[in-house]
Amino acid sequence: MTYISLEVNCQENFIEIFMAELAEIGFSTFQEKEDGTGLFAFSEENQKIEASLIEELFQQYKSLTTVNYELGTVEKENWNADWEKNYQPIEVEDKILVRADFHPSNPKFPIEIVVTPKMSFGTGHHETTYQMLNLMYDMDLKGTEVLDAGCGTGILAILAAIKEAAKVDAYDIDEWAVENTNENFSLNSIKNSICRVWKGEVQTIPQESIYDLILANINKNILLADIQHLQRHLKKDGFLMLSGFYEYDIQDILNECKKYSLELVNQSVRNQWAALLLKHIK
């Protein structure tokens, strides 16, 4: 499988801004450069991202910062080798350790999640995933039914299973994300009888499926389009946890949620990225 690759050289304080902007035009996976000089963005070739859209995006920022980029393609094996070389464990406060299988275990953390460092989004490095994990840690999920919408590596689904959810469903539009999620289920000894994952979009959620908790760490525009569909699969008094957008986008998300009787219960902000927990009041 071949992916579109984009190397962006920019000031460190613009890295997350460009991640959000590039997600809007179709890039799905991001990796910050270790020295803080920019980022790499990746997307499947079938996304057909127009070069003119990329150029137009960066032209908008020329007066604000120095930025240049190089567009190319990369085979998934090459990308994965680079990702593994740079992958570091993540500590979610003193609660959760997210590590690769080649990192040592650390018994001081109540929960450990092992993630194969492939290019699927959601290793815990990004502020959005970090916040979702942190919010989930404090929830009682024993015996619940959970959906991970746009699962990436499956890290959120894995945490739900570790916290004794009775059923965990997950889906993603990326075939590799589905493959990676299944691998990570196995690495964390998650039973197939509890967790399942499929390739698809929000419309592929089985019509009869309803959940106690739906997790969606996706970019703002997709969330705004998907909330109306996701809420149909929430039980009465069920919860919807959202991230993938900036603090200044919170009100737009809340305005959409209000249409469907979704009330804010909790929220967090980390380095300008936001996460929301909402309850379905019918």
* Confidence bin at 36 (pLDDT 50/70/90): confident
Q: Is 124's pLDDT higher than 70?
A: no
Segment 147-156 shows an average pLDDT of 94
Do 40 and 6 touch, CB atoms closer than 8 A?
yes
Q: Mean pLDDT of all residues in the chain? A: 89
d(CA 280, CA 282): 6
Can you tell me the distance from the alpha carbon of 197 to that of 216, in angstroms, rounded to the nearest whole number? Answer: 14
Look at 136 and 1; give whichever has higher pLDDT.
136
Question: What is the rounded distance in angstroms from the CA atom of residue 160 to the CA atom of residue 200?
Answer: 20
pLDDT above 70 for 153: yes
The residues, ordered by sequence, that sit 6+ positions from 200 with a Cβ below 8 Å of its Cβ are: 171, 172, 173
Which is more confident, 8 or 126?
Answer: 8
> Alpha carbon of 18 to those of 15, 33, 133, 231, 274: distances in Å?
5, 13, 24, 30, 16
Ordered structural domains, the chain, with CATH: 2-84 (3.30.70.240), 87-280 (3.40.50.150)
Q: What is the rounded average pLDDT of the residues 208-225?
A: 94
Q: Which helix (H) or strand (E) holds 270?
A: strand 262-270
Average pLDDT over residues 253-274: 95
Give me the mean pLDDT over the 39-58 stretch.
85
Segment 24-44 mean pLDDT? 82
Strand (E) positions, 16-124? Answer: 29-32, 38-44, 68-75, 90-92, 96-99, 111-114
CA atoms within 13 A on the CB side of 141: 27
Q: Is the pLDDT of residue 83 over 70?
A: no
Count other C-beta atoms under 10 Å from residue 102's C-beta: 10
